[in-house]
Amino acid sequence: MTTKNLIITAVAAVAAGGVVTSAMAQSYPTKPVRIVVPFGAGGPADIYARYLGQNMQKPMGQSFVVENRPGAGSIIGTDVVAKSAPDGYTLLLMSNTHTINESLVAKKPFALMKDFTPVAPINYSDLVLVVHPSVPAKSVKELIGLAKQKSSAMSYASSGNGTPYHLAGELFKSMAKVDILHVPHKGSGEARTSALSGQVDMMFDAITTMASNVRAGRVRALGTTGLKRSKVLPDVPTVSESGVPGYESPIWLGVMAPTGTPAAIVSRLNAEITKVTGSAATATAWDKQGALALKMSVAEFDQYLRKDIAKWAQVVKVSGARQDR
């Protein structure tokens, strides 16, 4: 075969490959898609995974089934997805727990940016620092003063080591120069129950799931973790403005797939997820909950993840946070 013919053959093969992958994306999915949530039921990841699945079912013509696989600070469920076939039928509902764990957890059975490919972000929301009504502190400054008096006698709940709730507490301890005992739980639901019952003194929790308890008086909100006040709890000052200048610690969610998932399928999923998160109905619903939709291309989400990994690596270093406590 001549050089010219070889070139023609190669070009034809590439063109044919493009047609095949395009057809694959158009026909996908041909069976139900599993969204693995490596966290317990009832938390933000679970709630928004179900919202996403319900709203993608009709336009994509297949069911999106949410499967909760909590444990080990998201590692158990995440590893399930890492070992799944890269065909677009098993997706990971992830959060900044995953970008935190890249520096906090030295030994994991996977590496986030090696074993997964970014698909799309979902949303971003602030946390809220709450205390049980039995705690006498009425402000962040009073809480800091109380913690310094009691030393490590005070405690805070989290949904597990390496989660945003954990690192929010460790960052607070580091910046406020206080010692508060970390009490990890198997999920945010269990942690929330401990905070509501007074088994622990305080908790950093997602506004989307804790605001109703604040309004009902079951807990007292002392501060939110964004740099601006939340529309959901506008009368609650930020932690930054009320005692710890510069403090910021959000929670965000996204979707990833096993590395090797066809780019055409990843692109299709990104487009469909963006339609859901970018809709007027979603904006209205999430605004009331305190969640802000995040919309990015696959490449933009990739860069977002890498920057967040670097950010939390610095927080882990400065705060002295550890996987075992």
Asked whether 131 and 219 are in contact (CB, 8 A), the reply is yes
Q: How far apart are CA 169 and CA 172, in angstroms?
A: 5
Q: Do 126-224 and 31-124+251-319 fall under one CATH topology?
A: yes
Domain regions of the chain by residue span = 31-124+251-319, 126-224
Taken in order 102, 108, 111, 116, the sign of the CA dihedral is negative
The pLDDT value given to residue 320? 80
The pLDDT value given to residue 1? 57
Question: What averages of pLDDT result for each successive group of 10 residues across the chain (325 residues)?
Answer: 61 52 76 96 93 96 96 92 98 96 92 98 96 96 92 85 90 93 90 96 94 96 95 95 93 97 98 97 93 96 97 86 70
* Two structure tokens written together for 6: 């070889």
Q: Does residue 137 sit in helix, strand or coil?
A: coil
CATH number belonging to domain 31-124+251-319? 3.40.190.150
Among left, alpha and beta (phi > 0; psi -120 to 50; other), residue 290 is: left
- On whether the 126-224 domain is CATH 3.40.190.10, my answer is yes
Terminal-residue alpha carbon distance, the chain = 66
